[in-house]
Each structure stands twice: as C-alpha cells, then as structure tokens.
Amino acid sequence: MALPDVTPERVLDKEPVRVRSRRQPFGYAPRDCEEGTMGLLDGKRALVFGVANDHSIAWGITKALHAEGATVGLSSVEALLERRVRPLAEGLGIDFVEPCDVSDDAQIARVFERWGEQQGDLDVLVHAVAHARREDLDGAFVDTSRDGFHLALDVSAYSLTALTRGALPHLRPGASVITLSYLGAERAVPHYNVMGVAKAALEASVRYLAADLGPRGIRVNAISAGPVRTLAASGVAGFRDLYAQFRDVAPLRRNLALDDIGGTAVWLASDLASGVTGEVVHTDGGFSILGMAGGA
C-alpha cells in the first residue's frame, strides 16, 4: 500500500507544530494527559491502529489511554514499524507492536491472532487510519477516479468494519470501538473531496456497527476531530490555510492538541461513556456548530 510520498520531517519541520497558546484568555488551557490522571482505564486492554509518528492522532490517543492505566498495543503498516513506531512504543513500555495493512484480510486476521495469544481479551479498539491518493485531495471532486474512490473507501471506511469483525472474538461486554472522522463527512470542505465521502461512509458504519454490536454490550463511536498537523493531513491541498483559519473562527479560538482528542478517547473508552454508542462526538473547539464565521 503506497503511503504519501512525504516524510514526516519534510512536512512537519517546515513550521513548528504548536497549539497557538496553552494559556488562553480567562485562564483556560487544553487538557494535558500527563497531569492529574485518574486511572479511568485501569485493567483495560487497548489496541490502537494508525500510529505513524509522534504527531499522529493515534499516538495522542495511545498516550492518553496509557496514562489512564490501560495496557496498550500498537499496530501500523510494516514500512513504519521499526523506524517510527517501535521506538515510540518502547518509550511507554509497550511490547505489543505488530504490522497490519488494513486493506489485507490475512494481515488483519494475523494481528488479532497474535493479540489473542499474547493479551487475550480486548476492551478498546482504536481505528485511526485513512488514506487516499494525493491527486484526489486536490482539484475537483468530480474528477475522482474509480480506483481512487475504491482505495479511499476501502482503507478509510471499510477497514473499520474489517477490524471490528477481526477483533470480535476478543471483545468483551463493555468494550469500546473508537474511530476518527472529520467535518468533511457532513459538509463540503475544500479539497477534502473523496475523503469526505469516505468519512460519511465511516460515520454510517459506526451507526450500523453500534446497532449490530450493542446487544453484545459493545459500543462503537467516532470522534470528529478538528484539524491537526499530521502526515495524513499534509496530503490535503490547502491544509495549512485551513489549519490557520480554524483557530480564528472556532469558538474556543485555538487549534486542537493531541491531548484534547486523547481526552475524548479516554472518555469513550471508559465506563463513564457506558451509555454512549453510535455517536459522532465532535472534538473541534466548537467549529462544527457555526453557521458562519464571527461572533462575540
């Protein structure tokens, strides 16, 4: 599976990754997952798909789950595993690190077989995976090719169902499946194009999976996150402008930190969200509530 033809350094080192300010007016600051954890996930086991590097949303979620007491395992594409993912895993004492291309059913079966052998049950499955051709995230949506459409929908939407089905023998009642979506599922966002269609399919999949698995006590939800500077985001044309404009418009007047999204994931993974399933939880500083820019 071809990954974007950019390295994290080339994309992310152009400008330092920064949340505009951790000190906000009125004394408000984003959550820091290393401050004041509560053991909300003590005894739970989580498997996270989608860490590419330490800018990945999956990595933010991994740190947050780990800080709350979960035992976490990681799976990522083979090409990133040894150089990028294993060193990060070692830093947190994570020893389950397995390759998986989510478009390959045999690899999905193998990763869950390994999980069963090494860890047994699974309480939290995190799907933070997406991919589309670079040329389909630029220009006009009407030009999307059939192959590009299939690729984006397969890797970014169908894979949630494939991973959930693979995980099913290990998921206990009370387990939580979490995926990552974006506003482009609900509204036409410039250049998001086929990925918006994939996210719409992903969000619909969340509802159907939640309906299927609810009777088994398994919850399925999506986090619709505001823009974060990651490798995947770098493939969307105009992302830099979108990211900069976001903080001037979003009600909270700042960009999202990985810890903001990690916090929502902890909540959805924990028993605090025991009555929540089939939802798309916006974690976007309020951006999606707006009818137009402006305000107080």
Residues with a catalytic annotation lie at: 182, 192
We find the least distance from the C-beta atom of residue 26 to ligand NAD, in angstroms, to be 26
Q: At 9, phi and psi to the nearest 5?
A: -60, -45
**198, 200, 205: which is closest to 221 by C-alpha?**
205
Q: Tell me the C-alpha distance between 53 and 37, whole Å.
A: 24
Tokens standing for residue 22: 């951790």
Q: Which is nearer to ligand NAD, 23 or 197 (CB)?
A: 197
Task: Return all residues near 176 (Cβ < 8 A) that are at least 6 apart.
Answer: 123, 124, 125, 218, 219, 220, 221, 268, 269, 270, 273
We find the least distance from the C-beta atom of residue 272 to ligand NAD, in angstroms, to be 22
Chain centre to alpha carbon of residue 198: 14
Q: Is 245 helix (H, G, I), strand (E, B) or coil?
A: helix
Q: Tell me the C-alpha distance between 165 and 174, whole Å.
A: 16
We find the least distance from the C-beta atom of residue 234 to ligand NAD, in angstroms, to be 8
We find the least distance from the C-beta atom of residue 144 to ligand NAD, in angstroms, to be 17
**140, 133, 127, 244: which is closest to 178 by C-alpha?**
127
H or E element at residue 286: none
Chain centre to alpha carbon of residue 64: 13
We find the least distance from the C-beta atom of residue 2 to ligand NAD, in angstroms, to be 9
Q: Which is nearer to ligand NAD, 88 or 228 (CB)?
A: 228
We find the least distance from the C-beta atom of residue 141 to ligand NAD, in angstroms, to be 17
Q: Which is nearer to ligand NAD, 38 or 290 (CB)?
A: 290
Q: Which is nearer to ligand NAD, 67 or 223 (CB)?
A: 223
Q: Tell me the C-alpha distance between 238 and 161, whole Å.
A: 30
Q: Which is nearer to ligand NAD, 90 or 271 (CB)?
A: 90
For binding to ligand NAD (CB under 6 A), which residues are involved? 1, 50-52, 56-58, 76-77, 80, 100-103, 128-131, 155, 180-182, 225, 227-228, 230-233
Burial of 103 from C-beta contacts in 10 A (0-12 / 13-18 / 19+): middle
Q: Tell me the C-alpha distance between 33 and 72, whole Å.
A: 15
Q: Which is nearer to ligand NAD, 67 or 77 (CB)?
A: 77
